[in-house]
Amino acid sequence: MAVKKLGAQTVKFQNPPSIIATATVVGPVEGKGPLRNYFDLILGDFKFQEKSWEKAEKKMLKEAVEMAVKKSGVPSDKIEYFIAGDLLNQIISASFAARELGYPFLGIYGACSTVAEGLGIGAMLVDGGYADNIVVGTSSHFCSAERQYRFPLELGNQRPPTAQRTVTGAGAAVISTKNQNPRITYVTTGKVIDMGAVDPNDMGSAMAPAAVDTIVMHLEDSKRTPEDYDLIVTGDLASVGKDIAQKLMLQKGIDVSNKYTDCGLLIYSPEQDVHAGGSGCACAAVVTFGYIFNEMQKGRYNKILLVATGALMNSTIVQQGETIPCIAHAVALENL
């Protein structure tokens, strides 16, 4: 019997797992943004002393994981699972990092929602009694993502105002049975939502309905309201998607205007040339594991609903005229 299941899509943990340490690595553009003081390592260039952007991304993820584990105080041989994913084909950043780290590895793919998916799976393993210490991580890189999903940078293609900048960075967190705040209290697993969007340069519009669907289900399943949270933060809808999501929720009678923001807007300042805002697996990861985690430790926030969003497509299927299926997973973080 699923005694920890609430409603249709939500899990409530009986022994809420703790996030005991986090670490973040970001690129030079992110290091000039408003959250610069919350990041552990800011790169001076995009290659991180590697020969390619893809190898740099793998190195960022490995570095973030090693820093998080070291900060947690958990001996490396006591990490029982490494749960990670990224945007590149066959999640090569995560897989190659796992090759070097040597932890038992669960590779996942949720596009830009990967951090919430990883936190959810990790929390279920810990609360279920299958592990005491798990590290979750994800990464993305502006240059490698542009090369794979859009156009090689050397072509100099113009991007429309609706386009978002893939965050260069990596984030990792150690989930543990230790009695420490913040805790993961609820996880709402999203459904794939496809409203017929076809423009890969407008991910905010495509993902907004998935974010709304998951938020509505979380509130229904948990019997909570937006007022129960200090902050509701979506993963990377940025300016276009955030406005759409807010309007869609108002149509459903849910007003989140006084406590809703988006990681894609927090990561960059308006003065930076990022068009609609940030995106990528690292967007929600570095904002959550940098800014949100630190502010929760200070007590500024005590209840956060993270709703990371992802577009589950690739360049091949877009060129075939397919629409873009999207997903969002919600994770409630609380100081108890």
The mean pLDDT value for 155-161 works out to 67
Residue 153 confidence (pLDDT) above 70: no
Same structural domain, 136 and 59: yes
Which of 176, 196, 230 is at the close of a domain? Answer: 176
Q: How confident is the model at residue 151 (pLDDT cuts 50, 70, 90)?
A: low
| Alpha carbon distance 164, 167 (integer Å) | 9
Average pLDDT over the chain, rounded to whole? Answer: 94
Output the pLDDT for position 76.
Answer: 97
Output the pLDDT for position 161.
Answer: 72
Same structural domain, 210 and 165: no
Output the pLDDT for position 273.
Answer: 85
Q: Which of 168, 186, 212 is nearest to 309 (CA)?
A: 212
The mean pLDDT value for 128-148 works out to 93
CB atoms within 10 A of CB 251: 8
CB atoms within 10 A of CB 110: 24
Residue 242 CA to chain centroid, in angstroms? 16
Output the pLDDT for position 259.
Answer: 95
Which of 116, 141, 176 is at the close of a domain? Answer: 176
Same structural domain, 92 and 211: no
Same structural domain, 129 and 203: no
**Domain total of the chain:** 2
Output the pLDDT for position 287.
Answer: 98
Q: Using one digit for the tens of pLDDT, what is the confidence trace for 270-311?
A: 889 898 899 999 999 999 999 999 999 999 999 999 999 999
Cβ(149)–Cβ(200) below 8 Å: yes
Same structural domain, 121 and 192: no
Q: Which domain holds residue 321?
A: 183-334
Output the pLDDT for position 156.
Answer: 61
Q: Could you tell me the pTM of the whole model?
A: 0.96
CB atoms within 10 A of CB 159: 16
Same structural domain, 196 and 129: no
CATH number at residue 320: 3.40.47.40
For residue 170, what are the contacts with CB-CB under 8 A and spacing of at least 6? Answer: 24, 25, 57, 60, 61, 63, 64, 137, 138, 139, 140, 282, 285, 286
The mean pLDDT value for 79-95 works out to 97
Same structural domain, 328 and 309: yes
Task: Answer with the residue of higher pLDDT: 143 or 65.
Answer: 65
The mean pLDDT value for 329-334 works out to 98
Same structural domain, 143 and 291: no
Q: Using one digit for the tens of pLDDT, what is the confidence trace for 162-201?
A: 888 999 999 999 999 999 999 999 999 999 999 999 988 8
Same structural domain, 162 and 226: no
How is residue 79 written in tokens? Answer: 């990490």
Same structural domain, 137 and 53: yes
Same structural domain, 255 and 301: yes
| Alpha carbon distance 288, 306 (integer Å) | 8
Which of 112, 146, 176 is at the close of a domain? Answer: 176
